[in-house]
Amino acid sequence: MTTARLRDVPALSAQADALVIGITGNDSSLVPAPGAQEVLEALGTDFTQTLQDLGASAKLGETCKVPTAGAARAPVVVVVGLGADEEISAESLRRASGAAARALAGKDVVAFALPATSDEQIRAISEGALLGAYAFDRYLTKKHAPIGELVVLTPRAGDRTAKQTVERAGLVAAAVNFARDLVNTAPNDLYPESMATQLAARAKGTKVKVSVTDERGLAEQGYGGILGVGKGSARPPRLVKLAYAPRKAAAHLAFVGKGITFDSGGLNIKPASGMGTMKCDMSGAAAVAAAVFAVAELGLPVRVTAYACLAENMPSGNATRPGDVLTMYGGKTVEVLNTDAEGRLVLADGIATANGDQPDLIVDVATLTGACVVALGNKISGVLSNDEDLLEELPQIAERAGELMWPLPIPAEMNDKLRTTKVADLSQHNPDKWGGALFAAAFLREFVGDGIAWAHLDIAGPAFNEGSPEGYTPKGGTGAAVRTLIQLAAERSGG
Ligand code: BES
Ligand code: MN
Ligand code: ZN
């Protein structure tokens, strides 16, 4: 596994296989970022001009490799773009470090000579580099050699706070990468039972207690949503509870994750074009689980209980039909109108279960609707909530963690739409095609206990990158929402 650490040595004498420096500015004038000047000077008089001649760009995340030919201890310098502004944001550092780490896959030791004096900068470089160094090679016969060590050059290498910052960044990045691994694992290997087993194995030696409810337990306790969705599959569903309860806890957070290990749509089967990436439909469950492990390993004084609602949505002679009525955990009845709107059914059971713990706050995370992707694109998650303050606060928490989230409303008309069915308490699916992300949230809100603050994160867009790698975001599973959940827990613990 790749690790990150701090060192206080001049960039030119850093013992590494590659040295990363930054540039800002634009095509007509490149400006060395703090840390770059001495390296560029060693490479030659007016090396900024040489970079320009080489076509190096300050565009965020663009990289250009140059040999040092003895001018530095490292044989290669990677010049990475930090964007046009001389004012360099934490997120620019995170993305540029990630891009540099990707460009240097296969090197053993990579040193970063980027502006790294504040804790925010040290955190951003460490997280970005560790996230960018991620590679998923489980199914490749020829494995990738991962970067061994990422060295962040900083005058604060001896400072306790700075050391804690890089350690925390390591735990956060490992959590994101754990979620990515789960998402990227092929759905013939990752199904409800095997995912539950993996989560239980991950808990060994940690302060997280994992308990798994199998299909018999689910039936005994009335989990109509999870069972209804899982019925069509040969692989039975599971509910996994992950609990971290430190002695001194400032608050109790409940996380609920959608864990559809494959979403074929069920009898309302998806077209081929929409099914190809549907192993990603357990990203919410992966995120909540990864976050709990990280919160425990960070030792944050906050209690966290997560529920991973795991089922495979398949068509078969035993599958749930449109028109079926399910009795959900807690007793509410739901008329199923579209078996492809399965996420809300498993989440409703999870949320209703979380109510029983009387948490201060419930956050559910789900690749829930294509409608949310239409609204916000594939880089921004939707936030919907029953609490005005939370609706405003969560996108800000996300931003501090380096993630993009945006508030969406739950309009009052959704309450009527939820009740167009004549045969059950609630309709599962909206009568018209508009506002699908909002209707889904209105449905989930029905299962939140009285007086409990709740937020729903629709990560259908950002959870899975079908395009090219970018910054610290690889192709495939991205680990969306993991950093936001950890940041939320940290802020609610007063840390
Ligand atoms: N898992 C999908 C949503 C999704 C779409 C996730 C694209 C990631 C990328 C979800 O279960 C689904 O099928 N939603 C339907 C809901 C509809 C039937 C109301 C959708 O969005 O089309
Ligand atoms: Mn679906
Ligand atoms: Zn789904």
Q: How confident is the model at residue 495 (pLDDT cuts 50, 70, 90)?
A: low
Decide: 369 in ligand 1 pocket, CB within 6 A.
yes
Contact 435, 414 (CB under 8 A): yes
Residue 238 · residue 216 · CB < 8 Å:
no
Positions of E strands within 281-374? 303-313, 325-327, 333-335, 361-366
Report the nearest atom of ligand 1 relative to the CA of 436: 19
Q: What is the pLDDT of residue 100?
A: 98
CATH 3.40.630.10 fits 177-493, yes or no: yes
- Cα 401 to averaged position of ligand 3 atoms, centre (Å): 26
Question: Candidates 282, 309, 337, 340: which one to mutate for ligand 1, based on the most atoms within 8 Å of Cβ?
Answer: 340
- Token pair for 110: 């990579």
Tens digit of each residue's pLDDT (9 = 90 or more) over 368-390: 999 999 999 999 999 999 999 99
Q: State yes or no: pLDDT of 34 exceeds 70.
A: yes
Rounded to the nearest 5 degrees, what angle is found at the Cα of 14, between the Cα atoms of 165 and 147?
65
Taking the centre of ligand 2 as the mean of its atom positions, its distance from the CA of residue 366, in whole angstroms, is: 11
Whether residue 341 has its Cβ less than 6 Å from ligand 1: yes
Among the bound ligands, the one closest to the CA of 478: 1
| Strands 464-465 and 476-477, bridge-based pairing | antiparallel
| Mean pLDDT (whole number) for 193-221 | 98
pLDDT score recorded for residue 22: 98
Output the six-digit token pair for 124. Answer: 């951003």
Residue type, 331: G
Asked whether residue 253 carries a pLDDT value surpassing 90, the answer given is: yes
In this predicted model, what pLDDT tens digit does every residue of 285-304 receive, in sequence order? 999 999 999 999 999 999 99
User: Which of the four pLDDT bands, split at 50, 70 and 90, describes residue 313?
Assistant: very high
Q: What are the residue boundaries of the structural domains of the chain, listed by start?
A: 3-154, 177-493
Active-site residue identified among 59, 270, 321, 475: 270
Radius of gyration of the chain (CA): 24
Amino acid at 287: A
- pLDDT the model gives residue 377: 98
Residue 429 beta carbon below 6 angstroms from any ligand 1 atom: yes
Q: Which DSSP helix (H) or strand (E) runs through 128?
A: helix 119-132
Q: Is the shortest distance between the CB of 371 and ligand 1 below 6 Å? A: yes
Fold designation for 3-154: Leucine Aminopeptidase, subunit E; domain 1 (3.40.220)
Q: What is the DSSP string of 183-236?
A: HHS-TTT--HHHHHHHHHHHHTTSS-EEEEE-HHHHHHTT-HHHHHHHTTSSS-
pLDDT in tens, 417-446: 999 999 999 999 998 999 999 999 999 999
Predicted TM-score (pTM) of this structure: 0.98
Q: Calculate mean pLDDT across residues 269-277.
A: 97
User: Does residue 270 carry a catalytic annotation?
Assistant: yes
CB 444 within 8 A of CB 351: yes
Q: So what's the pLDDT on residue 274?
A: 96
Specify the pLDDT at position 235: 98
What pLDDT score was predicted for residue 211?
98
- Our answer to whether residue 142 is catalytic in this structure is no
- In the structure, what pLDDT confidence band is assigned to residue 86 with cuts at 50, 70 and 90? confident
State the ligand closest to the CA atom of 463: 1
Token digits for 204?
């060994």
Region 240-254: mean pLDDT is 98
Q: What is the model's pLDDT at position 26?
A: 87
Each residue's pLDDT tens digit, 144-192: 899 999 999 999 999 999 999 999 999 999 999 999 999 999 999 999 9
What distance in Å separates the CA atoms of residue 300 and residue 206, rounded to the nearest whole number?
Answer: 13
Q: What is the mean pLDDT of residues 458-474?
A: 98
**What's the gap between Cα 149 and its chain centre?**
23
Helix (H) or strand (E) segment spanning residue 398:
helix 388-401
Q: Residue 27 pLDDT > 80, yes or no?
A: no
* Contact between 345 and 433 (Cβ < 8 Å): no
For the packed helices 436-445 and 343-355, what is the interaxial angle rounded to 10 degrees? 30
In terms of Cα–Cα distance, which of 177, 153, 167 is closest to 74?
Answer: 153
CA dihedral sign of residues 373, 374, 377, 378: positive
**CA–CA distance from 338 to each of 92, 257, 321, 343 (Å)?**
42, 21, 8, 11
| Atom of ligand 1 lying closest to residue 274 CA | 7
For residue 460, give the ligand nearest its CA.
1
pLDDT at 366: 99
Atom of ligand 1 nearest to the CA of 265: 13
What is the pLDDT at residue 480?
A: 99
Measured distance CA(272)–CA(378) in Å, rounded: 20
Per the prediction, the chain carries an average pLDDT of 97
Catalytic residue among 107, 231, 344, 483: 344
Q: Is 97 exposed, middle or buried (0-12, 13-18, 19+ CB in 10 A)?
A: buried
Whether pLDDT at 124 is above 90: yes
Q: Taking residues 343-355, what's their average pLDDT? A: 99
